[in-house]
Structure 1
Amino acid sequence: MTKAQTLTWLRNISGDLASETLKKLDDTLPWYGTMPPSRRSAVGLVAQAGITSFISWYDDPSSQPWIAADVFDAAPRELLRSVSLQQTLQLIRVVVEVVEERVKGRDESVREAILLYSREIAFAAADVYARAAEARGLWDARLEALVVDSILSGEYDNELPSRIAALGWNGHGEVCVLVGTTPRIVDVDQVRRIARHVDADVLIGVQGNRLVVVIGRATPRGEDGTDAPPTHTFAQIAEALEPSFGEGHLVLGPEVPDVVEAGKSAKAALAGFAVARSWRNAPRPTHADDLLPERALAGDPIARRTLIDRIYTPLKNHNVELLATLWAYLDNGRSLEATARELFVHPNTVRYRLKRISEVIGWDATGSREALILQCALVVGSIAEPGGPRR
């Protein structure tokens, strides 16, 4: 057959090729059969456009060098979101197999043309999906920055959960915010890889010289396929992420119930980051609650309220003797003997009361750093008492 006769024959059987292709798609690709009718129709349009485009390309390969890219113009944009690149390549393979089967035994140049054109189609498909992924990546980056800004500013609206869901957030339950200095080069992908290794998901935002990471624990899968309990604490996750931050202080905010309330953790972390330099031997990372004295002195109302609610009020409500013992112990330079003389009790009684204080509030007054926190809590709590400071 001459080339003109081959072209005429191909044009005559193009409709049959499209029908055979759709039938083979239905027989060989399970995902095609489960698609809604509108999506199946769109896939059929792509297959028909591919066959028609091949015939035009075979007629004159040099007249339309980018004709392969036009195949996907027949498909709606929604098809890119419902059909993956892997499925698209499977579709191309089925079309090529159908056309090859029909031209078998005819002009060998047609088979070679099919191989060349299928390569162009595959590259065109990869280009389409690459451009879509790039556009989606830029959109996701802007959306992620918007979400982190909303969390830091505490501006909650009804759209915040849907925006977080659009980013593919995999965190469940409690959330913490980690604030540190921005490194010279922010490797966002590396931060996400590290987070995945410790069963966590992150939202990342760069705020000038501050790098903010919202941490949520992803639910790991057990050996039987069911959800397993979290294997890493937030402190362990923060330690794993620590190398991704620049030099300087790194502050981890307190846990909050879910990502929607992450603004509370962010406020504490930002307040702690602002005063962390005043703690000479601050660890990295530092818990925001370990910086309560510095935050309270800097005028952070959340820190003052936390000191009162977690230290002063529980001691006062539990036993007034414990509060008086703590005052005396700290005022006397943490001396057991001096405290016992002031209270007219035995030193062992002071030891027992200090142990009870630790059990009630969770802080140990015998440690130098925790003694500072407790001293600040007593001062702030007494100032907040009705009628002014009093012992």
Structure 2
Amino acid sequence: MSTKRGGERQGVSDRALRDLERASGHLASVTVAAMEERLTWFGRLPADQRASVLLITQTGAAGFVNWLRDSDQALKLTTDAFRGAPRELSRWVSLRQAVELVRLATEVFEEQLPAYATDNRDRAALTEGILRYGREIAFAAANSYAAAAEARGAWDARLEALVVDGIVRGDAEESLLSRAAALGWDPAANATVLIGNPRSDDPPAVVFEVRSRAARVGRPVLLSVQGSRLVVVVAGPTTGSVEDTELLGKMSAAFGDGPVVAGPTVDSLTEAHYSASEALSGLRAVVGWPNAPRPVRAAELLPERALAGDPQAEWLLVEHIAKPLDAAGETMLSTVETYLECGGVLESCAKTLFVHTNTVRYRLRRVTDITGHNPTDPRDAQVLRIGLCVGRLARSRGLW
């Protein structure tokens, strides 16, 4: 038995090697036939996909003979077994199924190889060789699937960044929805946009943290790190039940130091741009409220946003504060204005209006019912004061 150049021989005779080389196609066909017989899912694959598996098996069978001749080339030969496979192989054959294929192919080869041995020494060498070669093939399959998963992960990350960027910029609905659907997002689900600072300068670490938090609360998310800004789109309702209300607080833990602003919850992804624009406006203005909660809703920052020049915030203050109080009548309007001018002192307000303090209390409760803001609360009082001021300015400009 001669020694071949380039590596160590596996103790198989030249005659056995020649017979195996001629029979490699037959071995591959027998292996695929066994797959069809023993693996129910394999028989359901389309013909072109089964043909791809046959091609891989034939390459692997030929590679086994070459591997027996030169074991130093094991890594290259086993990798070649998957080089000719279509790129979408990992999409229609899972890693678990690929391991089943490798295990079954190894068993079939173990059954078939003794027929090509010239003596007991050949038989032992072939049996040991197929076990070692099967192990190498399994590792090559795992490496191939890992590379495919990394490529898909990188593509999904880029696609997700495009979707989030489209939401922030207000891109056309069709392209945004198709990309989101490719990521498995339900376009009809409620969506809420949160914006704040990332916890780290390392984007993969930020993505891992956000996805970990999302997995704990059981909600799908879309996210993108845009420079020093982290944008997260959360699916599902965020108001109503206690769990929904606490959801944003749990997700805000994935952000870094500084404020986290949540836009309004919208009905679907097509309206998510509105939530994003509100959240961005709130993020620019939240510095005006040092004690703002975390996270803070953009709707809670209307005074600061109006002072920062946000016309949308001014319009909302007019609609929700100035107009309802004006429609309630002069009595309500003068009561809340006087109460605010008196510094929130009930007795001073009653004395100025020449009414009993209980009358003032009743009217202030009515103001709370009308606007949703309690004049006796310092923060709500600020909202009411700025809302009334914005309303007067809008009226003077003929906008109301």
Q: TM-score, normalised by structure 1?
A: 0.87
Correspondent of 1:29 among 27, 33, 39: 39
Match of 1:371 in 2: 381
Match status 1:123 vs 2:176: no
- The residue number in structure 2 matching 1:351 is 361
2:236 is paired with a residue of what secondary structure?
Answer: strand
1-side partners of 2:237 and 2:35: how far apart?
Answer: 37
Are positions 1:254 and 2:264 aligned together?
yes
1:67 counterpart (70, 77, 83)? 77
Which residue of the partner structure matches residue 196 of structure 1? Answer: 215
Residue 225 of structure 1 corresponds to: none
Q: C-alpha distance in 1, partners of 2:270/2:113?
A: 60
> Cα distance 1:71–1:248, how it changes in 2: closer, same or farther (>3 A)?
same
The answer to whether the 8 Å contact 2:198/2:255 transfers is: yes
CA displacement 1:109-147 (0-9 Å, x = unmatched):
101110111111111112212222222222222222222
**Paired position in structure 1 for 2:196:** 180
Task: List, as ranges, runs of 4+ consecutive aligned residues in structure 1 with deviation greater than 6 Å.
Answer: none
Post-superposition offset of 1:57: 2.0
- Equivalent in 361, 364, 387 of residue 371 of structure 2: 361
Deviation at 1:369, TM superposition (A): 0.4
**Structure 1 residue aligned with 2:150, among 103, 113, 134?**
134
In 1, Cα distance between equivalents of 2:33 and 2:368? 75
Give me the whole-angstrom Cα distance separating, in 2, the residues matched to 1:254 and 1:196: 22
CA contact (8 A) 1:325 1:353 kept: yes
How large is the Cα RMSD of the aligned pairs? 2.8
**Deviation string, structure 1 residues 292-327 (Cα, Å, up to 9, x no partner):** 101000001121122122233334445554334323
Of the three residues 239, 243, 251, the one matched with 1:241 is: 251
Counterpart check, 1:145 vs 2:164 = no
Q: Distance in 2 between matches of 1:174 and 1:43?
A: 43
Give secondary structure in 1 for the equivalent of 2:49. Answer: helix
Q: Could you tell me whether the CA contact under 8 Å between 1:191 and 1:241 is conserved in 2? A: yes
Tell me the alpha carbon deviations over residues 138-182 of structure 1, each in whole angstroms, 9 at most, x when there is no partner. 222222222222222222342111112223336862211111123
1:152 and 1:266 in contact (8 A); partners too: yes
Alignment of 1:289-304 (within 5 A): 289-304=299-314
Q: Secondary structure at the match of 2:282?
A: helix
Q: What's the CA shift string for 1:244-298, capped at 9, x where partnerless?
A: 3222222122211122322211111111111222212222222211111010000
Q: Is residue 306 of structure 2 the alignment partner of residue 287 of structure 1?
A: no
Pair 111,100 (structure 1): closer, same or farther in 2 beyond 3 Å:
same
Shift of 1:93: 0.9
Native 8 Å contact 1:199 1:231 kept in 2: no
Per the alignment, residue 278 of structure 1 pairs with: 288
Given the superposition, is the C-alpha separation of residues 28 and 346 from structure 1 closer, same or farther in structure 2, using an over 3 Å criterion?
Answer: farther
SS of the residue 2:189 aligns to: strand
* 1:217 aligned onto 2:236: yes
The letter of the residue matching 1:339 is C
Contact 2:237–2:265 (CA<8 Å) still a contact in 1?
A: no
TM-score, structure 2 normalization: 0.85
Contact conserved, 2:181 with 2:187, CA < 8 A, in 1?
no
Quote the Cα distance in structure 2 between the aligned partners of 1:182 and 1:316: 43
Q: For 1:373 and 1:100, how far apart are their aligned partners in 2?
A: 81
Q: Distance in 1 between matches of 2:47 and 2:325?
A: 68
Identity of aligned residues (%): 43
Higher gyration radius (CA): 2
User: 2:351 aligned with 1:332, yes or no?
Assistant: no
Which residue does 2:127 correspond to in 1? 111
Cα distance 1:364–1:35, how it changes in 2: closer, same or farther (>3 A)?
farther
Once structures 1 and 2 are overlaid, which stretch shifts more, 15-24 or 274-283?
15-24
The equivalent of 2:243 in structure 1 is 232
How many angstroms does 1:2 deviate by? 6.1
**CA deviation map 1:215-241 (0-9, x unaligned):** 22399xxxxxxxxx98732x5223223
- Aligned partner of 2:395 in structure 1 is 385
Compared with structure 1, are the counterparts of its residues 136 and 81 closer, same or farther at alpha carbon in structure 2 (3 Å cutoff)? same
> 2: CA distance between counterparts of 1:350 and 1:371?
15
Tell me by how many angstroms 1:196 deviates: 1.0
Q: Residue 98 of structure 1 aligns to which amino acid in structure 2?
A: V
Distance 2:308 2:289 in 1: 13
Q: Aligned partners of 2:399 and 2:25: how far apart in 1?
A: 92
Aligned partners of 2:191 and 2:237 also within 8 Å: no
**Residue identity opposite 1:154 in structure 2:** G
Q: CA deviation at 1:389?
A: 9.4
Whole-angstrom CA distance in 2 between matches of 1:147 and 1:42: 34
Q: Which residue of 2 aligns with 1:222?
A: none
Q: Deviations over 1:181-235 (max 9, x none)?
A: 233344211210111111222222222222222222399xxxxxxxxx98732x5
Q: Which amino acid aligns with 1:116?
A: R
The 1:15/1:281 distance shift into structure 2, 3 A limit, reads same
Corresponding residue number in structure 1 for 2:227: 208
Aligned length: 380
C-alpha displacement at 1:65, in angstroms? 4.5
